[in-house]
Structure 1
Amino acid sequence: MTATHHNTPDLFALSEIHGPVLRPGEDGYAEEVAGFNLAALHTPDVVVGATGVDDVVTALRWASATGTPVAVQATGHGANFPIDHGLLISTARMTDVRIDPRERLATVAAGAKWRHVLDAAAPHGLAALTGTSTDAGAVGYTLGGGLPVMGRAYGYATDLVRSFQVVTPDGTLREADPDHEAELFWALRGGKGNVGVVTSMVFELLPLTTVLGGAVHSPGEHAETVLRNWTEWTRTVPDEMCSAFALLRLPPIPEIPEPLRGGFWARVAVAWPGDPAEGERLLAPIRAAAPVEVDTVEEMPYAALDRIHLEPQDPLPARESCALLRDLTPDAIRAFLDQVGPDVTDCPLLMAELRHMGGALSRPARQDDAICARDALYILETVGVLAAPPAAAAIERATASLHEAMAPYGTGRTMINIHGTPGDESDRARAWTPEVYDRLRKDKSVYDPANLLRFGHTVPMAS
C-alpha cells in the first residue's frame, strides 16, 4: 500500500529497525521530525530515527517495496520544504566521527555536525572545510557542494571528498569513489540528495590550527562607502583572503550581544589562514574605509570559526535565497543598495550578504563534479526571519525584488544549499548548468527509477 495523507503502509517490516519508528500523534514524533529551520514543519506518515547503516537499508527497502516517498534529515539547517507525507529518515543519531591523523582523513557518519568533526580533528592539528555554522550537518552540506568560510583558500568541501557510503533507493548499500560507482560519486558531489541516502563519507583534512578571523562593523549609514571600498579591495587581495560584506538589520533580542543588538550594520567578515601580521596589514584599508564601532578580528583557533559570522544558535523560521554573480560593477552595487541600503527604511531582511568567490573556488575540480559555481566572482545571499505572516509576505516581496534587480549581473544560477524554497522545475534547474542538470536527470532515472527521493530540491527523471 502506498503512503498517502490519509493512510500509512503497514509498518511490520520496520520492526527490525533499532531506532524509533513513529507516526503522527505518538510520543516523540514532533521532536523527531523537527529541524533547525522551523519554516519547514514536517508531517510525514512515519519517521524512522536511524541508529546506523542497517536501519537506513531496512527503511529504504521498505519504502521501495511499498512505493513510499522518502526524505532525509540530519540537522534540518537546510530544510526549506515541508514533508507532508511519506517516510522521513532522521540520521541525527548517526554522529560517529573517526580521524586518521597520519593520512589526514576523517570518516564521518550521516548525522554528524561540523562541530563534531572540528572537535575530533583539532587535537591532531587538523581542520575541515566547514561553512558559517558548525551546527550544520557535514554530509548534507557537502552533498550540496559545500561553500566554506575558507573557500577562496582551499576550495569547496566536495573537492576534498575521497568516498561515500550510500544506500540507493532500492535498499542497496554501495561504496562510491573515483574508481567504484564513479557516476554515483559524481552525482553526490554537488547534486544533493537526488540519487541515494549517504550514510558516511571520507574526506581529507587540512593541517590548520589557527586563523585570523572576525568581523569589522560600521554603522549602516556608511554602507555605500564600505561596500565600494570592500569591492575594490577584493580585486587586490591574495586568494587566501576570504571575506564577505553584509548589511545586517538585527532585532533587539538578548541573543544578540551589545552593542550590535537592535542595530543596522555594514559588516565585513574575514578569514585569513596565513601570517596574522600580514592579514592585519591586508585588512587595514577596510578598517580605514568608515568609522568602526565593533571589531572582532583576532587570531583564533580554527575550531572557533563560528565567531566570524555569528550565525544564530537556536532554531528559527527562516527564508533564505541566493544568486551567483559574475561581478560587482558600479551599477550592480547601486542596484543592491537601492534595494537593501540605508535609504530603505522598511527592509524586512535580517541579512543581505555579498560573499567574495574566486580563488580556489574558481579552479577546476580534481575530479569532475556537479558544482556549477566556479565561474562566479561573488554570491548574493539573503535571510529573512518569518516571525509572523505579514513579515513572511514582506520578506518574499523584498527577496524577489532584490533578485530581480541583481539578475543582470548574475550567472543565472544558484547554489543548491542556499537556493531557498525550491519552486517549479525551471527554478530548481537554476542550481546547475543545462548539461549538468541533464546528467543528473539521467542518473536519477538509473538510481531512483521509482522517484522515491522526491522531496526538497530534487530533479525529475530523464524522459
Structure 2
Amino acid sequence: MTQLVTRPVAAADLTDLRHAVSGPVWDPGDVGMVAEIAGFNLAPVHEPVGVVGATDAADVAAAVRWARARGVGVAVVATGHADFSHRGTLIVSTKRLDRCDVDPAARTVTVGAGVKWARVVEAAAPYGLTGVTGSSTDVGVVGFCSGGGVGPMIRRFGLGSDRVRAMQVVTGEGEVREVGPGDELFDALLGGKDAAGLVVEMTLELVELTRFYGGAIFFDAADAPAVLHAWRDWQAGLTENTTTSVAILRMPDVEGAPPPLRGRTVVHLRVAHLGPEIEGLEVLAPMRRVATPVLDMVDVLPAAAVDAVHCDPTDPMPSWITGGFLTEITHDTIDTLLEVAGPAHELPAVVVELRQTGGAALRGTQGVAARAPYCVGVVAPMVPELAGIVPAVGHGIVDALGPWSAGTVPANYASPQTLAVRPGACWTDDDRARLTAVVTRTDPDAVLGGRRLGLRSR
C-alpha cells in the first residue's frame, strides 16, 4: 500500500473545498485517503494537504482554484504507476473519471483520465480496432499519451501522443478548455505531462488491428552476448511492420513467475510483427537460430493480448525507472551494456532494456515528446533497503551509454532522481523553451507539474 505521512491542514480550508466540489474530499487524517491514492507503484510516500476524488471537469477546476488561492501545488494520481512522491500538495484523484466511449465509424475512443488501456482494447475489439497502447494495458491512457507513449508497435503506429485528436483540460488558473491540433496548449500536453494543464478527457484515433504475430522469447544468461549482438544486426534490417526490444531480465524467485524463469537471469526478446504467421515465422527465424530458447511464447495473438510481448508484472510493487533515448545501437553499444549490466553482475535492476523507438514515431510532429530511433530503460525495485543504491546503479547504466545518447529521456521514464540531476531532460532545447513559454501562460502561479518536471522554479 502507498505510504502516507500526514500533516496538519486548516479545517476551514478543507470545508471550503468540500463545498466547492461534488466528489469526496479527504484530509490527512482520513483512513480512506490512503486507499484513494494507492496505485500500482508502492514506492512513493505522499504527504498531501488533502485529496479530492474528482467526478468531472468542474471538480478538477474547483480544486485547482482552491489550491492556487492558497499557494498550494496540485498533483494528479490516477493508476499510480509513477514513482513521484507528492508532498505539501493537493492531490486530485481521477479514478472516477471513467468515461470510455468508442465511435467505430470515426475510429476513435473518448476516455476519462482514470481509464486504463485494458478497458479501451476490450471495448474496441468487437469493431476490429485497438489502441496504440504501452507495453502494459494496466497503464492509464492519459498518463501514457501525455508522456509521449512508447509502445510495442511504435515503428508502425508511432507514439501514443500521435493518435490524440482532442482533449478537455484544466489550466493552472482553474479554467476548463477544449483543445485540439493547432492549439499551443494541445501540443504542450502531449509529451509535457501535467506541466501545462490537467487532462480530464482525451479523444484518440484507434487503429485497425485484430491480431498480430508476437510475444516473448527467453534465452539463458550464458547466451546473452550472442543474442544481444545478433539482435543488433537483426533489428537493423526489419521493416516497420516489426517492432522489437531486448532486455536483460533478472527474474525474482517469487510465486507467479514462470517455472523455467523463476530466480534466473535471462535475455528477454520482445517482438510484435504486424503480418501473417508465415511471414512472422520467417522474420523471427534468424533469432531463433542464435541459441536454444529457455521459453518461446511467440504466437499469433489477438490485438488485445499485447501485454504478452513485454510480460510486465501485474501485481503492485515498489519500483523505479530511468532511461534515455539513443541515436544508434552499435556492437560497441552492446559490449558496453554487457560490461556494466550483463548477467555476470549482481545488480538491483530487474530489467535493463534496449528498445526500438523509431519508424513512424520519427515522422510524428504532434506534441513536444522527444523522439529518437532507440532508447534504453532500467527498472528496479525501490524497496527501502535499496533506495540509496538503485538510482546510482540505474544512472550508471544509462550514463555508460552516453556516447550514443540523444540527450533526452522519455517523459514516462523520468524518475524524480533523474530530473533532480537533469532538470528538463525530457525535451530538446527548442521544445523545452516552447513548453516553458506555454506553461508560464497557462499556469502563471506554478501550481501544476512544471516544478516537478524541472520546467519551473517556485
Is this a same-fold pair by TM over 0.5?
yes
Tell me, in whole angstroms, the C-alpha distance in 2 between the residues paired with 1:27 and 1:234. 51
Whether contact under 8 Å (2:14, 2:27) holds in the other structure is no
Secondary structure at 1:293's aligned position in 2?
Answer: strand
Match of 1:131 among 129, 134, 137: 134
After superposition, the Cα gap between the structure-2 partners of 1:455 and 1:46, relative to the gap in structure 1 and judged at 3 Å, is farther
Measure how far apart 1:442 and its partner are. Answer: 0.9
1:362 and 2:362 aligned: yes
If the length of structure 1 is used for normalisation, what is the TM-score?
Answer: 0.94
Tell me, in whole angstroms, the C-alpha distance in 2 between the residues paired with 1:53 and 1:369. 22
After superposition, the Cα gap between the structure-2 partners of 1:253 and 1:123, relative to the gap in structure 1 and judged at 3 Å, is same
5+ residue gaps, structure 2, are 1-5
Whether contact under 8 Å (1:69, 1:451) holds in the other structure is yes
Deviations 1:400-437 (A, max 9, x none): 22122111111111111012225556613211111111
The code of the aligned residue for 1:356 comes to Q
The code of the aligned residue for 1:353 comes to E
Number of positions where the alignment pairs a residue of Structure 1 with one of Structure 2: 451
Match of 2:70 among 46, 57, 66: 66
Tell me, in whole angstroms, the C-alpha distance in 2 between the residues paired with 1:277 and 1:261. 31
The code of the aligned residue for 1:400 comes to H
2:286 paired residue number: 285
1:458 and 2:456 aligned: no
After superposition, the Cα gap between the structure-2 partners of 1:401 and 1:460, relative to the gap in structure 1 and judged at 3 Å, is closer
Whether contact under 8 Å (1:422, 1:456) holds in the other structure is no
2:3 paired residue number: none
1:89 and 2:85 aligned: no
Match of 1:378 among 363, 374, 377: 374
2:60 paired residue number: 56
The code of the aligned residue for 2:147 comes to G
After superposition, the Cα gap between the structure-2 partners of 1:334 and 1:288, relative to the gap in structure 1 and judged at 3 Å, is same
If the length of structure 2 is used for normalisation, what is the TM-score?
Answer: 0.95
Tell me, in whole angstroms, the C-alpha distance in 1 between the residues paired with 2:234 and 2:451. 38
Secondary structure at 1:211's aligned position in 2?
Answer: strand
Further displaced range: 93-102 or 453-462: 453-462
1:115 paired residue number: 118
1:333 and 2:329 aligned: no
Tell me, in whole angstroms, the C-alpha distance in 2 between the residues paired with 1:69 and 1:142. 23
Tell me, in whole angstroms, the C-alpha distance in 2 between the residues paired with 1:422 and 1:103. 42
Whether contact under 8 Å (2:246, 2:270) holds in the other structure is yes
1:319 paired residue number: 320
Deviations 1:225-258 (A, max 9, x none): 0000001001111111011100111111012121
Tell me, in whole angstroms, the C-alpha distance in 2 between the residues paired with 1:131 and 1:454. 22
The code of the aligned residue for 1:333 comes to I
Q: How does 1:92-107 map to 2 (within 5 A)?
A: 92-107=95-110
Measure how far apart 1:372 and its partner are. Answer: 1.7
Secondary structure at 2:336's aligned position in 1?
Answer: helix
2:439 paired residue number: 444
Tell me, in whole angstroms, the C-alpha distance in 2 between the residues paired with 1:364 and 1:35. 31
Whether contact under 8 Å (2:171, 2:197) holds in the other structure is yes
Q: How does 1:175-324 map to 2 (within 5 A)?
A: 175-179=178-182, 182-324=183-325
Measure how far apart 1:341 and its partner are. Answer: 1.0
The code of the aligned residue for 1:381 comes to G
5+ residue gaps, structure 1, are none
Measure how far apart 1:276 and its partner are. Answer: 1.8
Whether contact under 8 Å (2:211, 2:301) holds in the other structure is yes
> What is the percentage of aligned positions where both structures have the same residue?
37
After superposition, the Cα gap between the structure-2 partners of 1:388 and 1:59, relative to the gap in structure 1 and judged at 3 Å, is closer
2:50 paired residue number: 46
Measure how far apart 1:388 and its partner are. Answer: 3.9
Measure how far apart 1:340 and its partner are. Answer: 1.2
After superposition, the Cα gap between the structure-2 partners of 1:455 and 1:185, relative to the gap in structure 1 and judged at 3 Å, is closer
Secondary structure at 1:289's aligned position in 2?
Answer: coil
Measure how far apart 1:66 and its partner are. Answer: 2.3
Tell me, in whole angstroms, the C-alpha distance in 2 between the residues paired with 1:41 and 1:152. 36
1:23 paired residue number: 27
Tell me, in whole angstroms, the C-alpha distance in 2 between the residues paired with 1:247 and 1:350. 8
1:395 paired residue number: 390
Tell me, in whole angstroms, the C-alpha distance in 2 between the residues paired with 1:138 and 1:422. 24
Q: How does 1:5-24 map to 2 (within 5 A)?
A: 6-8=8-10, 10-16=13-19, 17-24=21-28
Secondary structure at 2:321's aligned position in 1?
Answer: strand
1:155 and 2:151 aligned: no
Secondary structure at 1:213's aligned position in 2?
Answer: strand
Tell me, in whole angstroms, the C-alpha distance in 1 between the residues paired with 2:224 and 2:131. 33
Whether contact under 8 Å (1:354, 1:381) holds in the other structure is yes
Tell me, in whole angstroms, the C-alpha distance in 1 between the residues paired with 2:451 and 2:350. 24
Whether contact under 8 Å (2:353, 2:377) holds in the other structure is yes
1:77 and 2:81 aligned: yes
Whether contact under 8 Å (2:322, 2:395) holds in the other structure is no
Measure how far apart 1:343 and its partner are. Answer: 2.3
The code of the aligned residue for 1:119 comes to E
Secondary structure at 2:165's aligned position in 1?
Answer: strand
Whether contact under 8 Å (2:40, 2:80) holds in the other structure is yes
Further displaced range: 64-73 or 113-122: 64-73
Secondary structure at 1:214's aligned position in 2?
Answer: strand
Match of 1:166 among 160, 165, 169: 169
